């Protein structure tokens, strides 16, 4: 996971322009992956949004800031401490009526509606050495939520013309595209992310739909030179970071 904690040290909170995320009780701190996804997803004509594995609630609140006033966001989190932190972050944000937090596994989440947009920054380690802390296992590894289970949840909860967006490492992202297509979820946007020009691709930003669309492909780099952020990254995230 690529973190921006150097901006505020190992602080118990992370301040954005319009809201603050407290994350001292969560295993997943505010990091590049979540911010990238929250800033990148297409929210055009979106009303009902689902955030799977919301953690501290950072993506849910980014989407609350970006989406239309009438949009409603359900944020689902399995870990009890993370759920409590997300609940508090939402209540202290400018959008407490716009975001509803739910303490449950996505496999057991049964809302009475479908979603125009589903997002997830999911656990992705599948075969690596597992940590002794069960909370880190749930957060980082696919044991509690496999890719197949995630795709099944998405296909059950996504509206017929809805979009599903996710961020994954390079190899896991390519495998996920193949697996999703087997369940009739087709990649409609695929952006690569790397820290510097010339470095290998580190993440895929991916969007899927239930019907085949011409694929939009793009690329974004974190640094242009030295420790200077690239102009493209600045433009993507400028509504959130205090730095710009």
Q: What pLDDT tens digit does each residue of the chain (244 aa) get? A: 444 433 444 578 999 999 999 999 898 889 999 999 999 999 999 999 999 999 999 999 999 999 999 999 999 999 999 999 999 999 999 999 999 999 999 999 999 999 999 999 998 645 545 455 554 444 444 466 899 999 999 999 999 999 999 999 999 999 999 999 999 999 999 999 999 999 999 999 999 999 999 999 999 999 999 999 999 999 999 999 998 8
- Residue 79 near residue 105 (C-beta atoms within 8 A): no
Computed on alpha carbons and rounded to an integer, the radius of gyration of the chain in Å comes to 17
Could you tell me which of 193, 187, 220 has the C-alpha nearest to residue 206? 187
Exposed / middle / buried, residue 173 (Cβ in 10 Å: 0-12, 13-18, 19+): buried
Neighbours of 82 (CB within 10 A): 25
3-state secondary structure at position 203: strand
Could you tell me which of 92, 99, 95 has the C-alpha nearest to residue 75? 99
Distance CA 244, CA 238 (A): 6
Could you tell me which of 72, 52, 64 has the C-alpha nearest to residue 21? 64
CATH topology of domain 5-237: Rossmann fold (3.40.50)
pLDDT tens-digit readout, 215-225: 999 999 999 99
Phi-psi label, residue 8: left if phi above 0, alpha if psi -120 to 50, beta otherwise: alpha
Segments making up each domain of the chain, as ranges: 5-237
Length of the chain: 244
- Residue 7 near residue 13 (C-beta atoms within 8 A): no
């Amino acid at each position: 996971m690529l973190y921006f904690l150097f901006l505020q040290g190992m602080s118990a909170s992370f301040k954005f322009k319009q809201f603050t995320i407290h994350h001292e009780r969560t295993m997943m701190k505010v990091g590049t992956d979540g911010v990238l996804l929250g800033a990148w997803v297409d929210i055009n004509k979106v009303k009902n949004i689902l955030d799977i594995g919301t953690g501290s609630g950072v993506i849910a609140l980014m989407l609350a800031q970006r989406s239309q006033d009438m949009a409603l966001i359900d944020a689902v989190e399995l870990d009890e401490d993370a759920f409590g932190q997300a609940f508090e972050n939402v209540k202290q944000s400018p959008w407490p009526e716009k975001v509803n937090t739910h303490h449950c596994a996505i496999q057991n989440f049964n809302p009475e509606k479908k979603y125009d947009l589903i997002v997830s920054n999911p656990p992705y380690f599948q075969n690596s050495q597992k940590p002794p802390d069960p909370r880190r296992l749930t957060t980082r590894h696919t044991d509690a939520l496999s890719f197949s289970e995630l795709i099944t949840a998405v296909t059950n909860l996504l509206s017929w013309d809805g979009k599903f967006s996710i961020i994954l490492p390079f190899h896991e992202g390519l495998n996920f595209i193949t697996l999703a297509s087997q369940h009739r979820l087709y990649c409609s946007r695929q952006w690569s992310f790397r820290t510097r020009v010339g470095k290998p691709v580190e993440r895929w930003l991916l969007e899927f739909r239930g019907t085949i669309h011409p694929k939009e492909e793009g690329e974004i780099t974190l640094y242009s030179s030295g420790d200077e952020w690239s102009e493209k990254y600045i433009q993507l995230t400028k509504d959130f970071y205090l730095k710009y």
